[in-house]
């Protein structure tokens, strides 16, 4: 590198450029990422590396496809009325009791998150079932958004997928086997903490954190005699049942059934709702799928891929790797607890798992790698609530309509604190837990 700037200096300049463009100049997040990437390449004396810009843009194309597929599924079941019918049936069968409704409707988020391995896709696809159900028992919109984001994140951490953990495992050449116990040790307590918190700590009684837009929603009664019936509920749940059945079948009979991948499975599930909707509603669902927040987040994923590629080209990524691996206790634990969520807030939990999670796992090479990977994926998942990306929180606000990310974070922090404590404890006591969780 002829210009001679140290990668650490480039990293500091990249942060300054990003903050100036996004916070001061108010550039949209994708544009801010792209400007930061190009400016970093220029400062690193690489000119404008078109090949790397294009190649980086395709780094997360599989996640972009999953994002649009999840949005398509969610909008199809919403516009067809399937989500409302399923919600009415679940509330009726649970007799409108808070904990049973939360458990039943939260399970849909958790299960979808398990199989797609991405909280944002789970929010878009399964969150539409949660909103009408929780509104019917009196939850306000910010609390509904917080519940959706937390449960989707818990599902993302659970086996068999967990994309952040899979990226770390791939980076350290660890086979993706025997990971279920360690991932369940993080995801199930998080889900249980969410059910407890959103039932008694931040429930429909209005005891949760206050803030603008937190007005309690009135409980929504059934509008006709058929709504809430078992048959209507099954019809509403049909798209969800189809995608879960495909996921389970693929894993139960891996040698007989070809895995069509999550994006195609979600599209198939969305098409199940097609007979229940008019042509006008179909057009509305298609327009909503490829516009607004889903399109913005797809652009974020593309430009984050570009930024990560430029970080690799300029040596910034290598510098982060070396410094991450050189940290010693207790600073390594503190650095990961703070650094992964904060950097992940800018780069997304997926990117920070790849950039920081892989060298961090290597830095704990003396202990069980499965536990390292699981714990680090838990710390990376905290970034789902950290701006500016905060993907789970942002998409939950989009699905619900109205709340802000700040309102979601104020309601979601207790269960996420449970995740942070568990992930850090798993990393600290990995040697003692190796015989139990692996």
Print burial letters for 397-409: b (CB count within 10 Å at least 16), e (below 16). Answer: bbbbeebbbebbb
Predicted pLDDT at 222: 42
Neighbours of 303 (CB within 10 A): 24
Let me know: does 174 contact 250? Beta carbons within 8 Å.
Answer: no
Q: How confident is the prediction along the chain (438 residues), in pLDDT tens digits per residue?
A: 455 688 889 999 999 999 999 999 999 999 999 999 999 999 988 888 999 999 999 988 989 999 999 999 999 999 999 999 999 999 988 888 999 999 999 999 999 999 999 999 999 999 999 999 999 999 999 999 999 999 999 999 999 999 999 999 999 999 999 999 999 999 999 999 999 999 998 877 544 444 433 444 444 444 443 455 677 788 889 999 999 999 999 988 888 888 888 899 999 999 999 988 888 999 999 999 999 899 999 999 999 999 999 999 999 988 988 888 887 878 889 989 999 999 999 889 999 998 899 999 998 988 999 999 999 999 999 999 999 999 999 999 999 988 899 999 999 999 999 999 999 999 999 989 988 887
Predicted pLDDT at 325: 80
Closest CA to 17 of 30, 32, 4, 31: 32
Question: How many angstroms from the chain centroid is the CA of residue 192?
Answer: 18
DSSP 327-369: --TTHHHHHHHHHHHHHHHHHHHHHHIIIIIHHHHHHTTTS-H
Retrieve residue 302's tokens: 């593309």
Retrieve residue 238's tokens: 């049909």
Predicted pLDDT at 217: 45
List pLDDT tens digits, range 285-340: 999 999 989 999 999 999 999 999 999 999 998 898 888 888 787 888 998 999 99
pTM as predicted: 0.91
DSSP 122-169: HHHHHHHHHHHHHHHTT--HHHHHHHHHHHHHHHHHSSS--HHHHHHH
Domain positions in the chain are 61-163+180-292
Predicted pLDDT at 45: 87
H or E element at residue 76: helix 61-79
DSSP 82-134: HHHHHHHHHHHHTTT-HHHHHHHHHHHHHHHHHHH--HHHHHHHHHHHHHHHH
Closest CA to 168 of 420, 340, 34: 340
């Amino acid at each position: 590198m002829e210009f001679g700037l140290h990668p650490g200096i480039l990293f500091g300049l990249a942060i300054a450029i990003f903050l100036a463009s996004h916070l001061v100049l108010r550039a949209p997040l994708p544009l801010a990422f792209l400007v930061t990437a190009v400016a970093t390449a220029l400062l690193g004396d690489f000119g404008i590396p078109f090949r790397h810009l294009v190649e980086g843009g395709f780094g997360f194309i599989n996640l972009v496809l999953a994002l649009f597929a999840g949005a398509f599924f969610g909008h199809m079941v919403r516009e067809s009325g399937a989500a409302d019918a399923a919600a009415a049936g679940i509330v009726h069968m649970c007799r409108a009791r808070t904990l049973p409704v939360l458990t039943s409707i939260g399970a849909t988020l958790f299960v979808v998150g398990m199989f797609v391995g991405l909280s944002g896709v789970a929010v878009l696809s399964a969150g539409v079932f949660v909103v009408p159900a929780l509104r019917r028992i009196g939850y306000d919109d910010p609390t509904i958004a917080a519940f959706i984001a937390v449960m989707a994140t818990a599902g993302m951490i659970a086996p068999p997928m967990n994309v952040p953990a899979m990226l770390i495992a791939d980076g350290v050449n660890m086979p993706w086997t025997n990971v279920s116990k360690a991932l369940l040790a993080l995801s199930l307590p998080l889900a249980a903490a969410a059910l407890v918190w959103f039932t008694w700590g931040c429930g429909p009684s209005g005891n949760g954190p206050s803030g603008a837009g937190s007005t309690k929603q009135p409980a929504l009664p059934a509008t006709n005699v058929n709504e809430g019936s078992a048959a209507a509920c099954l019809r509403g749940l049909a798209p969800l049942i189809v995608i879960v059945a495909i996921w389970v079948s693929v894993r139960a009979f891996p040698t007989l059934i070809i895995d069509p991948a999550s994006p195609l499975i979600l599209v198939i599930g969305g098409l199940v709702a097609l007979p229940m909707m008019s042509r006008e509603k179909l057009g509305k669902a298609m327009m909503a799928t490829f516009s607004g927040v889903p399109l913005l987040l797809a652009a974020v994923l593309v430009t984050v891929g570009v930024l990560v590629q430029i970080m690799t080209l300029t040596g910034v990524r290598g510098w982060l790797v070396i410094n991450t691996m050189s940290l010693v206790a207790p600073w390594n634990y503190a650095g990961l607890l703070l650094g992964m969520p904060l950097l992940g807030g800018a780069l997304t939990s997926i990117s920070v798992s790849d950039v920081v999670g892989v060298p961090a796992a290597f830095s704990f090479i003396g202990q069980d790698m499965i536990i390292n990977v699981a714990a680090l994926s838990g710390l990376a998942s905290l970034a789902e609530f950290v701006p500016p990306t905060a993907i789970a929180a942002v998409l939950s606000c989009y699905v619900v309509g109205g709340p802000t990310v700040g309102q979601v974070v104020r309601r979601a922090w207790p269960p996420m604190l449970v995740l942070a404590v568990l992930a850090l404890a798993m990393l600290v006591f990995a040697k003692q837990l190796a015989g139990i969780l692996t």
